[in-house]
Structure 1
Amino acid sequence: MATKDERLKRSIKKASQKFDRVRIERRGDKLSLRATLPPKPGEDKPKQRYLPTGKPVNEAGLKLAISMAMRLEAELIESRFEWKNWDKKIAKVNEPKTVGDWVNELIQRKSAQVNEATLKREYISPLSRLPQGEPLTEMLCKELIEQITKPKSRSRLRYVTAYIQLLQSAGLPQSLRNLLPVGGVVSGRINPDELPNDEQIFEVWNQIKNPGYKILFSRMAVYGLRPHESFKCQISKNKDEPFCKVDDDTKTGSHIAFPWPFDWYEIMEPWSDFVPHLKVERAVWSKYDNERLGNILSTWFLRNKKTVPFTAYMLRHRYACRLAENSIPTGRAASWMGHDISIHTKVYEQALGLQGELEAWRHAQGKS
C-alpha cells in the first residue's frame, strides 16, 4: 500500500500533466511552479524559473497551487504575464493594486470554495480576460463585458457575476447587475408531454423519506424554484399571504413567487426549516455558490431515480405549465419564475400555445 507521501507525489505529478507550460513541483516543504518565463527587468532572454507558491506540501496546498498554475498558464498563453504580479521584490511597495492583484486574491479565495472545473469556468476564464496590469475600475469591467459577451447569453451572466465579485472584493462601487440578462438566459423549448403530471409529483413527494430533501423538493414543486433557489428563499407561513421571496444572490436576483396549486402549500409545508438531514451541514452548504447548491439536488435526484423518475428542473417546468393551464397571465407567470416574459414565452411556447387554443375554443363554445 502506498504511503501518504507517495500518494501526494503522484497527485502532484498528475496535476502537472494538466498543463502545457507550467509544472508543479515540490521544493522542500513548499510547492513551486516551474515554467519558462519572460525576462525580468534588465534581462533580455526568457528563462526557466521557479515561482514559489508559498503553499504547503499537502492536499489543501496542492489545490491552491493548481489554481495558481491555471492562472500562470493563462497569462503565458495570452502573453499577459507581468513580473510585478508574481515577484514582490519587483513590485513597488507603494504601487496601487492592479487588476492582476485583485484577480489573484479572488481566485485564491474561491479555490477553497468551489471545485476545480467551476473555478476555471466561472472565475479564471472570465477574470483572465481583463488587462492584468491596469488599475481595477467598474468602467474597465463594463466595457469588456459589453465588448465580448452578448445580451441574454450564458457568457454575459458568467462575466457579470465574476466581475461583480471582483469589484466587491476590492471595495469598489459597482452597478454591473444592470448588465445581467433580464430574467436569465434563453433555454430550449419545453414539451409538456415529456413532464411528470401532478399526480406523479405528489406521489413522489409522499415517498421521500429524507426530511431535508423532502422540503427542498416541495419548494421546487410548489413555487417552481430553480434547484439552488430552494436553498436561498424565505417562505411565508401566513396562508393569506403565502408568497416565497427568493434571495438576491441567486441566478436572476430577488423575485416573488406564489404557490400553485395552493393545496400543496398547505399539505407539503414548504416553509418548514430544514433540520440538518442533508449529508452536508447548513454551516457548510451556506457558503457554496449557486451551481454547487444546484448540483447537490441534481445529484440526489440522479441517485434516487428509481423513486424520483424525473429531474429537478422538471418540477420547475411543470409549475410553468400548470400556471398556463390555469390561465395565469404570461407576464405574471414569468415574474413569479424570475425570468423575462420573452424567455418565458419562448421556453414554454407549446404549453402557452395549447392553452391559447383551448381558451379560444371555450370562448367559441360559449357563443354557440
Structure 2
Amino acid sequence: MAKADHLDEKIVQVNQRLKAAQLGLQIERRHTKLNLRGTLPPRPASAKLRPHQQRLCLGLPATPTGLKQAEQEVKIIAGQLLQHSFDWHNYLTFSGGKRLSQMNLAEQLQAFEQHFLSELPRQSNPAATKTTWNSAYAPYVRKLAAIAAEHPSLTLVEAIYKTVQATELNSRSRQLCCTTLSALAAFLMLPLPHDLKVLAGEYGSRNVRSRQLPSDEEIVSHWKNIPNPAWRFVYGVMATYGLRNHEVFFCNFSSLCQPKTARGDTMIEVLPATKTGSHQVWAFYPEWIEEFELRTIQLPDLETDLTKTTLQRIGQRVTAQFRRYGIPFSPYNLRHAWAVRTIHFGLPDTVAAKMMGHSVAVHTRTYHQWITARDQQQAVDLALSRRGVPEQWAGNETIR
C-alpha cells in the first residue's frame, strides 16, 4: 500500500510538469496499469466528430520505471496531436491487451477480423457483415497465413504480394484478394511499395461469363415438379420477386395475405437482417402470385437465428435443394431472369436496382449484358406494338 501511495505522489509530480508544459495530457493509475487521459480525436467507428476527453491505455505497469516510460510516451503523443498525426491504430489494444506491434501474424490477422466485424461502422447489419467476412475476406486471410507459414523467410509485405500473385489475373478472386489485403495493410499501417489496385487487373462486365437464363415457361414448368409445398413457395417467391437465396427467409409477406384487390398487394418487404438491408419489392409477373400459390405462405423449417447460423449457410441450403429436385439452373438465375424481365417491362434501372438491393451501376453492368437475341426480339415486338406498327413488321420479318 505504501508503494502505491508513493507512486501516486510521483504521478502527481509528473502531471504537474506536464501541465506546466501545457501538453494537455495527464497520467493516471488504474489498478496495476498506467493510462493517459486528455482530449483526443474520436476513436475509429465513434459517432462523435470532434476531439473529446478520453482515456488511452499505455500498456505500462504502475511502477517507477513504467512511470518514466509513460512520461516520455505522453510527450510523443502530445507532439502527434500538435502535428495532427495522431492515429488511434497505434494505441488500440485487442484481445490479450496487446497492441498490433506486439503481435505475431496470427494474432494480427485475428485482430483484423475482430476489427472488421465489430469496429467498422456496419453495425446496422451485423449478419451481412459476418457473411461478407466469411465469403469475401476470410479465404484470402487464410491464404496469406498459409503462404507466410510456407515461406517463413518472406517479410509480410512480400507474403502479401505472393498471395495476390497466387490468384488468377483478371478474375473475381484476384479482385477480392487485392481488396482484402489492401484493407489488412491499411489496418496494420503497413506501407506497400505498389498499390494492390495495380495488380487487381480488370474484372467486370467484360469478364462475366454469359448465362443462359431460363425462359418464363421453363420457370413455371420446374416449379410444378417440386414435390414439397414449402420449397415450391421458396422457388415461387424467388422467381416472382427476384430475391437472393437467403432473403426469402427474412421477408414481411403480410401484404400477400390481404384481399387480392388491395392496393399494393403484390409488394413484399425484405427485412434489415439481409445482405443489403431493408427494401421493398414488387412482383414481375403479378399473376405468378396466384399461379405459384404465394398467398399461402409456408417456409421450410430452417435455422434462421443468425446467432447460430449465417446468411451464407441459409443460401447454401436453398442451392442444395435446387440440386436435389433436379432444377437445371441455380437459384440466382431466377433473380437474374427477374432483372431482365423488368428491363423488358421498361422499369427504370434506378427503381429495379433499389428493389434488388444494389446500385444502379451494378444493375446495368450486370444485367443489361444478359439480354439475348431472344430477349431483344421480345423487346422489339413490344416496342413496335406500342407504336401501332403493322403486325407483319414485327417478329422475324425484316423492318423496311
| Structure with the larger RCO, 1 or 2 (CA within 8 Å, 6+ apart) | 1
What TM-score results when the alignment is normalised by the length of structure 1?
0.47
What TM-score results when the alignment is normalised by the length of structure 2?
0.44
